[in-house]
A and B are shown apart, each in its own frame.
Chain A
Amino acid sequence: MLKFSIKNAFRKKSTAILSSIGVGIGLMLVFVIGAFTAGVTAQFQENLSETIGIVEILEKDVLGRENSHLPINFTKDLYNTPNVGEDILKLTPETQAPFFYTSNYSGEDKLVNVQDTLTLIGINLTLDQIWGGPTTKILQGNIFNLEKNETIIDSRLLTVAQFPVSIGDNIKIKLDLGGTILVNLTIVGVYQEDDIGAPSFVPRQYYIYTDIQTLWNLLDKSGLETNTYSSIKLRFNVKTTQETEKYAEEINTYSESGGYAPVYVTATALSAFLESIGETFALFDAFAGIIGFIAVLAGGTAIIVTQLMSVTTRLKEFAILKSTGWKNRHIFTNVIIESLTLGILGAVIGLTLGSILVLFFSSGGSPFGGASAIITLPGVIEVVAYALGLGILGGLYPGIKAARVRPVVVLKGE
């Protein structure tokens, strides 16, 4: 029966193949969307797990890190914060140079998108080493020396920056701060940084690091207030965002009560921010699911139409089969196997095309710039399940129609 039905499915080869291609395209969309969702989710989960336990502190009511100013001794105040200080595992302060002036770096040189930013951050080397920051992730070269105008750069810049980024090159950043100054740093190392996984048109933030005193010295030249931190990150030994948020709330409450006066701060659990993004992802996921479902539905219609056409033109054949002892369920099963065959062929086409697309999109050379799409077993199972479901649903009505053939009516007049 199986061999007979499979062979029958391709009696009209071009129609059957076109129908399977239709299903395949629908399933391909489901597969690719699923792969992107899985990739983004995996990346997101990784980022989320990395940020659980981290609370970032900025000066209150300022716009952006570059405008935040926290005094040097503020780290000590944090250790004295009730219900917080004794639980701080480690902290790291940073000073960030304003980043909105870097989009048109050095004339014609630029990053991939004009919205991309290249931000210079000053870090305390000793604390960064304890924290496990970029200076602990050197891929090439060395860590910068203190007060030598040296920098380590984001590894992603090696492939995307359209300006010199080799070790030993000088990197020039135009600081447009009312007066323009040119920061001239020597690249001494490259630290590991993973891409966020989004398509290349999504703006990226690239960070290059130098020691905090070097940055202060550079900012001094612009007349900015220096010797302050832009932000301080605290790490707590917790496992959930909720626990992290509690520490942030303690700090905020203490700040509101004037505990750090004259300084007022805002503390944020970084993972809470990511979780809020996660909710947006869930919406995106649902939307993508609906698009995939519609695509599959369109593909499924192709099977129904093909099978219905096939069954309608073969009513006499079913009548003959009945006359030779085939039962209704045999004929129904035959039609279902035929449509399952078309669905499974569609799954093979969809998985093949989808895998090629996923590999292309996730490769660095694609226009999507190495989007994080991953092929997962559940993704493959989902496509196969869709194909089987479509096969059964697509064959259901034609199968019933075929099984209900009354030979005496169909063969009348013969």
Chain B
Amino acid sequence: MRILIADDEIVSRRRLQALLTTWGHDVVSVEDGTAAFDLLKAPDAPRIVLLDWMMPGMNGVDVCRAIRNERPEPYTYMLLLTAKDAKENVVEGLESGADDYVVKPWDPEELKARLRTGQRILELEDHLVEARETMRFKATHDHLTFLLNRGAIVDLLERELVRTLREKGCTIVILGDLDHFKNVNDTYGHLVGDEVLREAARRLLGSVRSYDFVGRYGGEEFLLVLNNCDTSQAMLRAEEIRKGIAGLPIQTARGPLSLTMSMGVLSSKEWNQCGPAEILCQVDAALYRAKASGRNRSELARPNSHEISLVPTK
């Protein structure tokens, strides 16, 4: 375990460093609190720190406070080492954010045990953070395709529409639907259908830029939110994406299947005052027109003059 020690007094520092090294730790040692704080803020900082209380510059308690304020994650386990053993000192030390408090002269066996406690707590913390991140991913992603799920992509659409309006930019919204997908499920079974959805998702992701968003909107419907675009590019981009699906058969366990996608396309610049619900409604209508006029094509959602005069202000 990498451990940082901070003590301005050389004998104590050397003793600590030597013993911790003997116990198999990788020790970094500094002579004052400010240096300790700088190191602890850095990426890949040691997760356990032993801080002398009284130090020039920032003292141990200052470091504890600053770390708790400025670096909540990853968690740093902090032990204060001090000769101050009055109750109010112990309380002040722990209130500053220290996890443990060791009174000098400390006993090696006791310190070793306290460090094991620290390691145990850090392991627990890591497991919890990992579990939280897994849950966060699952809560925002579709389990089959690993694309953003409907809730997440609609949230993003809402956020992007606000941002693009504020920045007077343009966001392109595309709603794509795999043509005759039901036939795949009915003919080859759901497992093959799942393969098709996963491959379609992979191609959609591959055909946009790293800062665009792709989500699974429904069964075989996908919503794409492309930032910083130009209205004139909308259909071009949509066509590229459409060809990415239609251009090459999808390999499945039951052989290659040729699939196509119909697209509703919308440029936010032409629908400036519209909220996400209206945008989704309009792009869905465009998708419906693409389906109605033969599928495997893109249709642009254009506000007509009548609609412009009726544009809701939300």
Q: State yes or no: do A and B come from one complex.
A: no
